[in-house]
Every structure is written in C-alpha cells, then in structure tokens.
A = this chain, B = another copy of it.
Amino acid sequence: MYDLIIIGSGPGGFEAIMTALRKKLNIAVVEKGKLGGNCLNRACIPTKYFWSGAHSYQKLPLFEKYGIDLSYKKISFTEAKKNKDSAIAFLRKSFIQLLKIKNVPVYKGVGRIIDKNKVKITYSDGKEDVIEGKYILIATGSKPSSIGGLIPDDKFIISTEEFLEKLETLPDKIVIIGGGVAGCELAYISAVYGSKVTIIELKDRLLPLRSISPEVSRNLQRRFKKLGINFHLNRFVKKYEIVDEKIIITLSDGSELIADKILLSVGRIPNTDIDDLGLVKDEKGYIAVNEYLQTSIDNIYACGDVISSPMLAHVASYEAKVAVHNMFASEKKKVDYSILPWAIYTAFEVSHVGLNEIEAKESGIEVISGYYTFTYNEKAVDEYENEGFVRLVFEKDSKRLIGATIVGKEAGELIHILAIAIKKGLTAEDLHNFIFFHPSLSEIFSHATYDVVIGKLF
C-alpha cells in the first residue's frame, strides 16, 4: 500500500509529488495525459512562451535606439509553436526524469477511486490496474467549457487548449468568444503573430472580473484598438454557420462576422467524475472539501480546479502543500486564501492582489488610494517600457495597504512585494520609507505613497 496516491500531475499534483518526495513518502502518480497537466502542456506555460515571443517582436522597433542595426520580417506562429513544444518538453522531461530517479510509479491511465483506499486505473487499451493507498489526493483539474451550440470540433471551433497545444498555423481571421483572462491573453498573441482578431464579450468590458478595476479594462481596450484587435461588448453569438470553409457568425445585435476559426474561451469546468464513493459535491458542482482540504471521506483530499477555490495554478500548488501536510502532520493547517496575487499577460502585464477600490467600497471599507505612472520611472525609461501605472489601495484611517493593481513591465513579479506588504500589515508610510533600489521599477511603490503620506504635488 502506497502512503499516497496522487491523481493528476498538473500544478497541484506536481507540488504534492515534490512535497511527498521530500517527506520520503512512498507515492504513486496517476496521469491520463501528459505529465505536467494542463498548465504546463496547454495553458499557462505555452501562453507565456507565446507572450514572450509577441512581446519581443513588439519591442524590435525600439532596438535601433540601442544602436542595434537589424531588419526583420514577419513573425511565424508555426516556428514558434515548434520551439514552444521543445521548451515544454524540456520541462516535462526533467519532471519525468526526477520521477524515474526517485522510482515513483506513474500509472498512465484514467484513475477512478473505487474504495476509500483503492484507485482503479483504466488504460487506453482497456486494461485495468487497481492500486491501494493510505491517502489519496484528487488533483484532476478542469477542462474548457463550451457555451450554447458552440462545441469544439477540432476544426472550426477550438478550445484554448487546442490553440495552445495543437494549433500549427494561425487562422487569418479568428473570433474569440469571451473577453476574460484567457481570451485577452490569446487575442494579444494571435494579433501580434498575424491574425485578424475579434473578441465577443457578453459583458460591458474586457476582463469583466470583479477583482479587475474598470481602469485596467479601459487601458487594455485602448491598447487593443492600437493593435487592431476588434471587440464587441454586450453581445453574444446568436448563431453560426459554415459556408465554403468559412464561419459566418451572427451576433445578438444582428451584425455578422466572418471567421476562419472560433476560439472558445468561456471558462472551465472541474473534472469531478472521479469516484464510485459518492464524494460530496458543493452547490456549484465542485468536490466539497473542508478547510483542511479533506473531502467527505477523510483520507481523500482534493486540491486545485476540482474544488471551489480560485482556478489558478498557484492556488493548486499551495493547496497541494497544505493537503500533503495535513495528511501526515500531527497538527493540521487550514487553507488561507487571504493573500492571493495574480497576473495577466496580454497587451500589457497586469497584476493584482487584495481588494480594489470597488471591492473595498462594497465591503464597507473606506479607502484612500495612491496612484503613480511609470512615465518617469528611470528604469522603465531606460528599457522603453514606461507605459503603465500602479494603484495602491489603503484603508483610510489606518493607512494600511489592503490592495494593489499594477499595469506594466514585470507586474507579475512586482506584485509579490505588495502581497507580502499586505500580509504583514505595512502602511503607506512603511512603504514610503522603505529603501527600494535605484533605479528599479519597484521604486514606484514608494512614489505612489507620496500623496497619502506627505501630501499632493498639485
């Protein structure tokens, strides 16, 4: 009997494996697809690869400023895709290699929990195995949703996963259904790599998430316009038909669009069909867990997209650590999502942690905010990336930092400075007097506190 059977090897499974190996546990891994799961093979990591390519390409016209004499032609998605596959293979192989060195058995089939200690694995050839474990971790992730009559067909209608894992050539015209995070990330990549992009979004702005301030959406919409990305807000697809290998799309307002492909980016649904034990689900259909991440059967834990916490890779990793800890430690830990930074890589980098002004208001917290742009940030000017801003949200009386949004270079890294600041209760004055390296992008946090701590300039 294994100490622990881990079903799924995405960010949750991976972190559980790392933790378990360091705890010298005897583990088995069940994975129906490629090791590394969606994040590594068809979501976060390929997205950031293509983003790096698109961003690099967009910076090329500025290289002459540094005295670099270059000429360049079009950018090729097909070439990038090949090398993206190699980069991901490098990461996946290092993972496989580690499992091999550590003699961890990997059962490459579909896992199903048939008993509180038993997992049945069904292989693609129909054969089966049953393995036993003292503990089981469900880290089976999620899959792309579809909407209305729009069902991926691998040809005209594709999911984000097909785009990121399989697509060899970009379509001339792509219509993206859904202007959320994945939609806006892939819109940027597609546009820079040469597609004509149109986004259809049901709500009244791109990135219409509660935690994303309208000012971020407005900024992004401006940038998208400059990039030639069209977007239709407050609309949805009423119907579509295929005529001569083209998709004719009719929107809710009666207007028509023609596309070579539709990319569906309308959220994800958890992979919860995992057991014969009747594991309890919550009201939204996720696997129900308590604050220790135990399911309704106490030796079976779950983490990541199958439970109702935010569907983010780093949440899964964090939960995996907590779950493995709780299985074997004398004192269990509760999950704590209070400080949860996230970032988006689209026409610019956006990141956020804590509350924005609107959320704070809704929670009845009076706030005061500090705003500063990168326009005159010396490091940003040196790198010709001085567009963007930071908005810091402070609780009005205590001046404690409770939230922050960054738009600009390295937003996805810089946000952690503020995440720790929020976690540790730093005030505007603490940030103002903190010594940031000069010249750095991070200095902006000290500048963004000036209004609140010392006084306004104008």
Contacts and interface: CB of A to CB of B under 8 A. Distances in A.
A64 interface: yes
A436 B15 CA distance: 13
A454 B19 contact: yes
Given A22-B450, A67-B77, A455-B22, A415 B437 contact: yes
Interface stretch (A124-132, A206-214, A334-342): A334-342
A327 to B, nearest CB: 13
Interface stretch (A78-86, A195-203, A234-242): A78-86
B313 A438 contact: yes
Contact of A72 (B40, B50, B70, B315): B70
Contacts of A317: 438
Given A381-B87, A434-B419, A67 B48 contact: no
A318 to B, nearest CB: 5
Contacts of A339: 434-435
Contacts of A48: 378-379, 382-383, 439
A432 B22 CA distance: 13
A56 interface: yes
Contact of A49 (B341, B382, B414): B382
Contacts of A83: 65-67
Contacts of A438: 11, 39, 44, 312-314, 317
A321 B453 CA distance: 11
A413 interface: yes
Interface in A401-425: 410, 412-417, 419-421, 423-424
Interface in A30-79: 39-40, 44-45, 48-54, 56-57, 59-60, 63-79
B437 A351 contact: yes
Nearest to A442: B416
A360 interface: no
Contact of A376 (B91, B193, B454, B456): B91
Contact of A382 (B45, B79, B378, B414): B45
Contacts of A257: none
Nearest to A338: B435
B71 A67 contact: no
Contacts of A450: 18, 22
Nearest to A315: B435
A239 to B, nearest CB: 35
A65 B381 CA distance: 27
B91 A68 contact: no
A41 B120 CA distance: 69
A70 B70 contact: yes
A434 B423 contact: yes
Contact of A413 (B45, B57, B410): B410
A297 interface: no
A441 interface: yes
A433 interface: yes
B72 A68 contact: yes
A70 B73 contact: yes
Contact of A44 (B439, B442, B456): B439
Given A90-B381, A442-B416, A318 B18 contact: no
A80 B65 contact: yes
Contacts of A412: 437, 440
A103 interface: no
Pairs of residues from A and B, 9 with the lowest C-beta to C-beta distance, nearest first: A53-B66, A67-B80, A67-B79, A70-B72, A67-B76, A314-B438, A424-B424, A22-B455, A313-B438
Interface of A: 11, 18-19, 21-24, 39-40, 44-45, 48-54, 56-57, 59-60, 63-81, 83, 87, 90-91, 94, 193, 312-315, 317-318, 321-322, 337, 339-343, 351, 376, 378-379, 381-384, 410, 412-417, 419-421, 423-424, 426, 432-443, 450-451, 454-457
24 contacts: A18-B450, A22-B454, A23-B455, A40-B378, A44-B438, A48-B382, A49-B382, A53-B66, A56-B63, A56-B66, A64-B79, A66-B83, A70-B70, A90-B381, A91-B381, A314-B435, A314-B437, A314-B438, A337-B435, A342-B437, A343-B437, A413-B413, A413-B441, A420-B424
